[in-house]
Amino acid sequence: MLGFGDKATELYRMINPIEHARTKDASNKYKVEPYVIPADIYGASNLAGRGGWTWYTGSSSWYYKAGIEYILGLKIRNGIMSIEPCIPKEWKEYNIKYKWKNSFYNIVVKNPNGRNSGVEEVLLNGEKVENFIRLQDYGIYNVAVKM
């Protein structure tokens, strides 16, 4: 939300359970499933680094929301899509495939200037539009976003 894409993805990666299971020592310290988002990672001295409250549904949904909405920037509100990325500077391009009802949106975000955030231009099927695209029930749409 602050526009610090490098820091956002660093913190996002730190929360990812697989990062705590890369070695046997790390896995023994973490002590919970490496495929489930925990609600807690303890900080107390004897429990530091240990995961807790796995299979807690709120944690996984917030993790998913953070990645899709706040890093990749795909936001859907009341049938209107906007793309507001907050990504690492070294990401030059990424793609999102999004299905809405019977429509498909092929989204390409390009970052030629190595920015963390900010959108310069949005094209819908080759035509320049505002960064508020009303989603349609049927069709195939190509969205190009330049940061």
User: What residue has token string 């989204």?
Assistant: 107
Residue 58 has what pLDDT?
Answer: 82
Residues forming a β-bridge with 140: 104
Distance CA 49, CA 71 (A): 25
Q: What is the pTM of this model?
A: 0.88
Q: In the structure encoding, which two tokens stand for residue 17, read together?
A: 């359970």
Residue 70 has what pLDDT?
Answer: 96
Give the DSSP H/E element, type plus range, for residue 76: strand 74-77
Q: How far is CA 85 from CA 50, 72, 128, 147, in A?
A: 31, 5, 18, 8
Per residue of the chain (147 residues), give pLDDT as tens: 889 999 999 999 988 999 988 999 999 999 999 888 888 888 888 899 899 888 877 888 899 999 999 999 999 999 999 999 999 999 999 999 999 999 999 999 999 999 999 999 999 999 999 999 999 999 999 999 999
Residue 15 has what pLDDT?
Answer: 86
Residue 23 has what pLDDT?
Answer: 93
Domains delineated in the chain: 1-71 (no CATH), 78-147 (2.60.420.10)
Cβ proximity of 109 and 147 under 8 Å: yes
Q: How far is CA 60 from CA 4, 70, 118, in A?
A: 22, 15, 27
Distance CA 89, CA 83 (A): 17
Phi, psi values for residue 46, rounded to 5°: -80, -15
Residue 79 has what pLDDT?
Answer: 96
DSSP structure string for 106-146: EEEEE-TT--SB---EEEETTEEE-S-EEP-SEEEEEEEEE
Residue 65 has what pLDDT?
Answer: 94
User: What residue has token string 């495939």?
Assistant: 97
